[in-house]
Amino acid sequence: MTLNIGVIGTGAIGREHIRRLSHKLLGSRVVAVTDINLEQAARVVQEEGITAEVYPDGHALVGAADVQAVVVTSWGPTHEEYVLAAIAAGKPVFCEKPLAVTAEGCKRIVEAEQAHGKRLVQVGFMRPYDAGYRQLKAVIDGQRIGEPLMIHAAHRNPSVGEGYTTDMAITDTLIHEINVLAWLLDDQYVSAQVVFPRKTSQALAHLKDPQVVLLETAKGVRIDVEIFVNCQYGYDIQCEVVGEHGIARLPEPSSVQLRSDAKLSNEILVDWKQRFLLAYDVELQAFIDDLKAGQLTGPSSWDGYIAAVTGDACVNAQRSGTIVPITLPTRPAFYG
């Protein structure tokens, strides 16, 4: 059986997902698209060589009889509205992060989904689907380095646009570490602090870059995450877990090692789309397969909610310069 999918938002990642859902993954086809820019949506349909109807807006797409599942890849502030519309229509929905731009918005989604009585939402946290993070988790869960004590992580981008603000280092960038590190440790955060090192001359005047976020977990693990979004040299994701009797590092993406010009070198990726290319494939294939099996198992709206609560604490910590306590609600049985 082929799952008919409608995609809301045909920008950068929307187009990537349309391509993989149409040409790469098994058991799905894109039958409907929309975007605030309808010309762009029509162009994507044409350029991707698919037969999909262009709907005037997200609500019309959600309501279309042949759309069995919805993928939301529009601008973040629109996510809540479209996810709630999909839940109201009883249709499963894969929503790119953030699930909603406020914790209250995420909570409204969690409540609507629970009132529906069955999981309908998967959030686009793709790192738990990345082969490297899965290997790292297997090492931790297998007790091969003993109990984790510390994590040193880094999230570096070559550069960011003018619209990128200091709090987006949390809400757009760190949000992936917030999700994946809690999953990796099977633990939850209890406090956050943000410190600002010397500012790079490569950042625009309004942006504090780099930043270091210090998180503490319920089990006492201390985490430092460097966010450096004008690092110039590449898109570089680092994660080192220090355990009681060993250290485990996230593997580097594979690349040919070069010996030339009197140098030994490996390429570093520059484009985020390349770094997690396979993880995006695997997360969406899981969404399709889980729907066919009758039960979603990927990152849930609850995961989106607690990431937003943690993100809010980190933004407060940025602004106040203090250590901000994080009180996370108890995970309902509904979310496993």
Residues in the site for ligand NAP, rule: CB under 6 A? Answer: 8-14, 34-37, 40, 58, 73-76, 78, 96-97, 124, 126, 172
Cβ of residue 50: shortest distance to ligand NAP, in angstroms? 17
Nearer to ligand NAP among residue 78 and residue 191 (C-beta): 78
Closest-CA residue to 297 (of 308, 282, 284, 286): 286
Q: How far is CA 18 from CA 11, 83, 252, in A?
A: 10, 18, 27
Structure letter (DSSP) for residue 76: G
Nearer to ligand NAP among residue 180 and residue 324 (C-beta): 180
Cβ of residue 75: shortest distance to ligand NAP, in angstroms? 4
Burial class (CB in 10 A: 0-12, 13-18, 19+), 190: middle
Instruction: Phi first, then psi: give them for residue 38, nearest 5 degrees.
Output: -65, -30
Cβ of residue 79: shortest distance to ligand NAP, in angstroms? 6
What is the enclosing helix (H) or strand (E) of 260?
Answer: strand 258-260
Nearer to ligand NAP among residue 274 and residue 320 (C-beta): 274
* Letter string b/e over residues 121-153, b meaning 16 or more CB atoms within 10 A of that residue's CB: bbbbbbbbbbebbeebbebbeeeebeebeebbb
Instruction: Tell me the residue nearest to ligand NAP as measured from the CB.
Output: 11
CA torsion sign for 244, 245, 247, 248 is negative
Nearer to ligand NAP among residue 97 and residue 108 (C-beta): 97
- Write the DSSP string, 199-233: PPTTS-TT---SEEEEEEETT--EEEEEEETT-SS
Nearer to ligand NAP among residue 141 and residue 271 (C-beta): 271
Cβ of residue 38: shortest distance to ligand NAP, in angstroms? 9
Cβ of residue 261: shortest distance to ligand NAP, in angstroms? 34
Cβ of residue 126: shortest distance to ligand NAP, in angstroms? 5
Query: Is the distance from CB of 67 to CB of 61 less than 8 angstroms?
Result: yes
Q: Quick count: other Cβ atoms within 10 Å of Cβ 244?
A: 10
Cβ of residue 6: shortest distance to ligand NAP, in angstroms? 12
The HSE-up count of residue 209 (CA atoms within 13 Å, CB side) is: 28
Nearer to ligand NAP among residue 127 and residue 137 (C-beta): 127
Measure the CA–CA gap between 32 and 320, rounded to whole angstroms.
Answer: 45
